[in-house]
């Protein structure tokens, strides 16, 4: 239909994509073989069959296990190339890509290997795929603020290779406020700031992300709807939320797509963008998320174009390229 083609073709940016969550089972097996690793699954279909989650933690367990096959810089290059090819087919023209440095350094893969590998793909992404790219390094909140502070020191040795920092992994019990000093130091270094908040955690974590960390966008943020004052604040200050509809369903944040809070956020005047989060694990890339909200929530062509426009405006793109995409 015309709407389906809008969902896929409208120029958009992706602001909430974990590159390790774009690891498709086919590539998992290819990299395992190349690296001499044996996987505890008979094949691709068996692995894909494990992608049934009860909550965020049950996903994270598989996500951190899966990325064990990423060893060399070339592995990260292939992963990023694979994502870019799929994203390009769904209308993505710019991507601000999350990666989890600690998930690699803690298993003996150097930060430099990860950065070299990703950059070997991303440096030519615009020419090869029509997608400009930036990297955002996320801290694993469940590993605490001291380890995050040490990782920031290491990241600052590569300051020019990333555009910003984020905060992800298991949310409950790990409030943003714990990372105040880390974020403050990153801000002083000129890094842009985002954080996951209000995915499984309470609205109070979204307040902390805003008021303690000073983030420019909130990743997920859907639990903000539990707090009217917070919703007003997000709308008034035009703080974008990077919403991930298929992710929220697959991690059981909502019963099904028809119950998704996206329409309520839009009605309240909150700036929202549509994103894939971990596309290999959650059943779709960003265009698939657009199609899903079109089909299940009844967003029409005008609304889909508005989400795409929001994604360009909420990006950290320089003005000249931003205008190209609007």
Binding site for ligand HPA (CB under 6 A): 18, 21, 56, 63, 168-169, 196, 199, 247, 277-278
Nearer to ligand HPA, 93 or 196 (CB): 196
Query: Is 16 annotated as contributing to ligand binding?
Result: yes
DSSP-derived pairing of the beta strands 241-243 and 164-168: unpaired
**Backbone region of residue 26 per phi and psi (left: phi > 0; alpha: psi in -120 to 50; beta: other values):** alpha
Q: How many CB atoms sit inside 10 A of residue 305's CB?
A: 15
Which of 14, 24, 119, 199 is an active site residue?
Answer: 199
Annotated catalytic residue 46? no
Q: Say if residues 219 and 197 touch (Cβ distance below 8 Å).
A: yes
DSSP state of 211: I
Q: How far apart are CA 57 and CA 279, in angstroms?
A: 17
Q: How far apart are CA 138 and CA 132, in angstroms?
A: 20
Minimum distance between the CB of residue 103 and ligand HPA, rounded to whole angstroms?
A: 9
Going residue by residue from 246 to 285, which x/- string records binding to Zn ion, judged by CB under 5 A?
-------------------------------x--------
Minimum distance between the CB of residue 319 and ligand HPA, rounded to whole angstroms?
A: 30
Q: Select the residue whose beta carbon is closest to ligand HPA and give its number.
A: 168
171 binds Zn ion (CB under 5 A): no
Query: Is 196 annotated as contributing to ligand binding?
Result: yes
Nearer to ligand HPA, 24 or 168 (CB): 168
Query: Is 237 annotated as contributing to ligand binding?
Result: no
The tokens describing 213, both together, are 């960390």
Minimum distance between the CB of residue 64 and ligand HPA, rounded to whole angstroms?
A: 9
Minimum distance between the CB of residue 250 and ligand HPA, rounded to whole angstroms?
A: 9
Q: Which residue has the tokens 């150097």?
A: 110
Q: Say if residues 273 and 311 touch (Cβ distance below 8 Å).
A: yes
DSSP state of 55: S
The C-alpha torsion from 145 through 147 and 153 to 159, rounded to 10°, is -80
Minimum distance between the CB of residue 196 and Zn ion, rounded to whole angstroms?
A: 6
Nearer to Zn ion, 75 or 277 (CB): 277
Nearer to ligand HPA, 248 or 310 (CB): 248
The tokens describing 126, both together, are 């615009």
Q: How far apart are CA 183 and CA 133, in angstroms?
A: 22
**Binding site members for substrate:** 278
**Binding site members:** 16, 18, 196, 277-278
Active site residues: 199
Q: Which residues bind Zn ion (CB under 5 A)?
A: 277
């Amino acid at each position: 239909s015309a709407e389906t083609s809008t969902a896929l073709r409208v120029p958009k940016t992706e602001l909430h994509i974990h590159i390790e969550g774009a690891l498709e089972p086919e590539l998992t097996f290819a990299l395992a073989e190349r690296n001499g690793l044996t996987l505890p699954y008979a094949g691709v279909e068996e692995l894909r069959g494990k992608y049934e989650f009860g909550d965020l933690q049950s996903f994270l367990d598989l996500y951190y296990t899966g990325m064990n096959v990423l060893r060399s810089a070339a592995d990260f290059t292939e992963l990023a190339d694979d994502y870019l090819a799929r994203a390009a087919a769904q209308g993505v023209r710019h991507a601000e890509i999350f990666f989890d440095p600690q998930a690699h350094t803690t298993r003996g893969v150097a930060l430099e290997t990860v950065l070299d590998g990703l950059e070997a793909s991303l440096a030519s992404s615009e020419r090869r795929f029509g997608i400009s790219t930036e990297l955002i390094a996320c801290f694993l909140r469940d590993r605490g603020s001291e380890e995050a502070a040490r990782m920031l020191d290491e990241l600052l040795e590569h300051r020019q290779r990333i555009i910003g920092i984020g905060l992800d992994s298991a949310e409950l019990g790990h409030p943003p406020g714990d990372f105040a000093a880390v974020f403050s130091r990153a801000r002083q270094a000129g890094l842009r700031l985002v954080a996951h908040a209000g995915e499984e955690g309470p609205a109070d974590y979204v307040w902390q992300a805003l008021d303690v960390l000073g983030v420019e966008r909130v990743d997920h943020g859907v639990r903000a709807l539990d707090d009217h004052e917070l919703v007003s604040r997000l709308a008034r200050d035009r703080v974008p939320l990077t919403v991930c509809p298929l992710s929220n369903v697959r991690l059981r944040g909502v019963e099904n797509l028809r119950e998704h809070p996206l329409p309520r956020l839009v009605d309240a005047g909150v700036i929202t963008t549509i994103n894939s989060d971990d596309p290999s694990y959650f059943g779709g890339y960003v265009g698939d998320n657009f199609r899903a909200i079109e089909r299940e929530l009844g967003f029409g062509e005008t609304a889909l174009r508005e989400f795409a426009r929001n994604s360009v405006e909420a990006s950290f793109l320089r003005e000249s390229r931003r205008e190209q995409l609007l």
